[in-house]
Amino acid sequence: MQLFSQLKALLARWWSDFTLQTRLMAGATLLVSLIMSGLTFWAVNTIQQDAQLNDTRFGRDLGLLLAANVAPLVETNDHSELARFSYRFYENTSNVRYMLYADQDGEIFFGIPYSEPAVQNSLTLRRRMKLPANYTSSADSPMVRQHITPAGMVTDVFVPLTIQGQYKGMLAMGITPNPTVVASSHLTRDVTIAVFVSIWVMVILGAVINALTITQPIKELLLGVKNIAAGNFKQRINLPLGGELGELIYSFNDMAERLERYEEQNIEELTAEKAKLESLVSTIADGAILLDADTNVVLANVAARRILGWEATLPIEGSILDKLQPEVRAQLAPPLVQAIASEDHEGSEFRISLIEGSRTVRVLLNTVLDQSRANIKGVAITLQDITREVALNEAKSQFISNVSHELRTPLFNIKSFIETLHEYGEDLSESERKEFLATANNETDRLTRLVNDVLDLSRLESNRRYEFSAVEVHQPIEQVLRTYQLNAKDKQITLEKDIEANLPASLGNYDLLLQVFGNLVGNALKFTPAGGKVMIRAYRAPYKTNRLNPQLIQNVRIEIGDTGLGIDAEDQAAIFDRFFRVENRVHTLEGTGLGLSIVKNIMDKHNAQVNLVSEVGVGTTFWFDLPVYDLADYVESGDANEQAVVDMHTIETAPTEAASSRAV
C-alpha cells in the first residue's frame, strides 16, 4: 500500500511537470488510440461473428450431406461400410473434429476418432450421447451449437438420421473453424494490441524526452526568470544542452550576469550618493529632517538634533511627534498634520519658540511627492535657528529708534537755535548769538559723528581691501590724546599715556588704528565720572611660542583703561555686537551702539582680537596685540615657516598679570 502511494505521488509529481500543451497532446493521443483500438476490436469481433455464422452454416450443410449418405447404412446396420465411408469423409475434410453415431436410445455405436471396438471393449463405461435439452427426436432440421474447448472453438451439429420419416438414430459431428480465418482474426487482434501498445510506448517516451529535454529546461528558465524578477541576480542555469534551447540558456545566464554587475554598480553608486547626501545634510548649518507619510523620522542631521535637543548618536525611530517636547509638539503638530492632509501640496513657513534656551526657530515644511506629483511620500522639515536674527532685528529696531531719536534731537536743537537767531537775532546780545551758534555747531558735529559711525561700519563689513604698512603706534596715540584732551579737561578726567621707549613699528593701517583709539578713548571718557582717569599704554607683549613652531612671536600690546562704571559680566559677551548699548542698562548716555562693533571689525582686518578686563564700579581695560612690522617682513620674505604666519595671529591672547594689574 505504501509502495502504491509512493508510486502515485511520483506519477502525480511527474504529471505536474508536464506543460499544458504536453498534457493536451497526451490526452489527444489517448483518445485517438482508444478510438482506433475500439474500431479495430469491433472489426475483429464482427469478423469473428461472421466466421462463427459461416461455421454454423457449413456444419449444418455438412451434417445434412453426411446424414443423407450414411442413413441407409445405419438402417441396414452395415457398420463396416459406415466406418469406411466415415473414415474417408473424415480424412478428406480438415474441418471435421469428430463424428459420432448413436442409435435410437442415444448409445454411441461408432465414432471417430474412436471406433466401436473401443466402445465394446470398455466393461465399465457406457458411452451415450447427451443431446441438448431442447432437442427432440422428431426434429426435421439439424441442431447447431458452439462451445469452446482447450483446442479452440468447436461447432457441434446434431443431425437426426431418418428414413422415410422414421427416426433411426443420431449423427453428432464437430466442426472446427477455418484455420485461415482464425489465424487472420488472431493476427488482427495481435496487430491491434501491438499498435495500441506501440502508440502508448511512443507517447510515454515522448513525454519523458519532452520532460528531460524541453519541460525541465523550460521550468528551470521559468524559475530563473521569477528569481530575476524578484531581484536575485545571482541566479544561473547549468544544463548541458545545445541547439536553440542551449542558446536561450546561455543568453539567460549572460543577462543575469549583466544584471548582477549593473546592480552592483548601482548599489555602489547609490551608496556613494547616499553617503554624499548624508555628508552634505550633516554639514548643513540648518536643521534638516525627513519624514515619511506617517510622520516617522527617516533622517535627521546633526543640526536638527542639536536644535531639538536629541542625542547626536542615538537612532531615532517612530513618529516625530513622540520625540518632541510638549510645548514644541503643540506648535509643530497642527501645521504638520495640515501639510500631510492638504491637497495643494504647497510648502508652509512658521516660527516656533523653544522654551529651553529661549530660542526662536523658523520651520519650513515642504511635502515630498511621488513621480505623478499626486501622492505624498513624506515631508521635508527645515529648521533654522533665527534667535540671533531675531535679536539683531530687535537691535536694529532699537537702533532705528535710537538713531531717530539721536537725529531728531540735534535737528530740533539746530532748528530751534537757528530760528531764534533768524527771528530775534537783533534782540540778542553778541554772547548769546555766539552761544546759539556754538550749540548749533555742536549738534551738527553730533549728527556728523552719527552718520560717520554708520558709514564706517558699513565700509568695514564690505570686501574693501586696506593697505597695511609700518605704523609707529605712539603717533596715532598722541593724535587721539590731543583730540580728546579738552574734552577730558571739561569732564575733569585725567587723560594720560604710557608708551614704552623704542617700540618697534607695527603692521597696520594708520587711519583705522586712529579710529580704534578714538572710539575706545571716547567710550572711556563717556563712562568715566569726574575725577576719574583714562590711560593709554603701549609696550612689548611677552614672547609667545607655539607648540607646532618653536619660533618666538613678538607683538606690540595696546591697552586703553579707565576707572569708569565697568561692564557687567553678562554684557561682556555681547559688548562688540552691533547696536548693543550698555547704557540701556546702566545709564542713559547718548550713543548708537556701533563704536565697539567698529573696533572689532577693524581688529579683524588686522587679524587681531580685542579683549577686555572689566569690573563694575572699578573700571574697564580694552587691549589687543599688533604684530611687529619687521617680523611681518621676515615672514613675507618666505624665509619663515608658513605655520608661523598662521600662528602669528592665533597665539594665546589672554592678558598677562601685569596687564590685568594695570587695568584700573
pLDDT tens track for 467-502: 888 999 999 999 989 888 888 998 999 999 999 998
Indicate if the pLDDT at residue 440 is higher than 60.
yes
Residues of the chain within CATH 3.30.565.10 domain(s) are: 465-661
Residue-level pLDDT at 182: 67
Residue-level pLDDT at 211: 61
233 versus 127: the higher-pLDDT residue is 233
Indicate if the pLDDT at residue 93 is higher than 60.
yes
pLDDT tens track for 289-315: 888 888 888 888 888 888 887 876 677
How much is the average pLDDT of 80-109?
83
Residue-level pLDDT at 291: 86
Residues of the chain within CATH 1.10.287.130 domain(s) are: 391-455
Residue given cell 511621488 in the structure block: 370
Nearest to 193 by CA among 40, 3, 348: 40
Residue-level pLDDT at 407: 72
Indicate if the pLDDT at residue 125 is higher than 60.
no
Residue-level pLDDT at 623: 93
46 pLDDT band (50/70/90 cuts)?
confident
Residue-level pLDDT at 664: 36
How much is the average pLDDT of 651-656?
35
How much is the average pLDDT of 427-448?
82
Q: Which of 222-231, 261-270, 356-365, 545-554 has the lowest mean pLDDT?
A: 545-554
Q: Which of 4-8, 54-58, 259-263, 510-514 has the lowest mean pLDDT?
A: 4-8
415 versus 546: the higher-pLDDT residue is 415
591 pLDDT band (50/70/90 cuts)?
low
How much is the average pLDDT of 612-630?
89
Q: Which of 354-358, 547-551, 598-602 has the lowest mean pLDDT?
A: 547-551
How much is the average pLDDT of 435-463?
75
521 pLDDT band (50/70/90 cuts)?
very high
235 versus 16: the higher-pLDDT residue is 235
Residues of the chain within CATH 3.30.450.20 domain(s) are: 54-183, 284-385
How much is the average pLDDT of 48-63?
78
d(CA 304, CA 335): 18
Q: State the burial class of residue 469 (Cβ atoms within 10 Å of its Cβ: 0-12, 13-18, 19+).
A: exposed
How much is the average pLDDT of 108-116?
73
Residue-level pLDDT at 477: 92
Look up the CATH architecture of domain 54-183.
Answer: 2-Layer Sandwich (3.30)
Choose from 43-47, 468-472, 577-581 the range with maximum mean pLDDT: 468-472
Q: What mean pLDDT, rounded, does the chain reach?
A: 76
pLDDT tens track for 380-417: 888 888 888 887 787 777 767 766 766 777 788 788 88
Domain covering 391-455 assigned CATH 1.10.287.130 in the classification: yes
Nearest to 320 by CA among 155, 14, 331: 331
How much is the average pLDDT of 309-334?
80
d(CA 534, CA 66): 175
Indicate if the pLDDT at residue 153 is higher than 90.
no
Percent of the chain with pLDDT over 90: 8
Q: Which fold has domain 465-661?
A: Heat Shock Protein 90 (3.30.565)
d(CA 557, CA 499): 10
Q: Report CA-CA distances (Å) from 237 to 17, 217, 225.
A: 18, 9, 10
Nearest to 601 by CA among 631, 630, 576: 576
Which three cell numbers mark 590? 547718548
558 pLDDT band (50/70/90 cuts)?
very high
Q: Which of 189-198, 428-437, 533-542 has the lowest mean pLDDT?
A: 189-198
Three state DSSP letters for 388-411: HHHHHHHHHHHHHHHHHHHHHHHH
How much is the average pLDDT of 120-136?
56
Strands 611-615 and 533-540 turn out to be unpaired
d(CA 120, CA 604): 160
115 pLDDT band (50/70/90 cuts)?
low
d(CA 100, CA 130): 11
Which residues of 303-347 form beta strands (DSSP E)?
Answer: none
Residue-level pLDDT at 392: 78
Which three cell numbers mark 648? 602669528
CATH of 284-385, one of 3.40.50.1000, 3.30.450.20, 1.10.10.10, 3.90.1150.10: 3.30.450.20
Residue-level pLDDT at 175: 82
Residue-level pLDDT at 658: 39
Residue-level pLDDT at 659: 41
Indicate if the pLDDT at residue 260 is higher than 50.
yes
**CA dihedral (15, 21, 25, 27) positive or negative:** positive
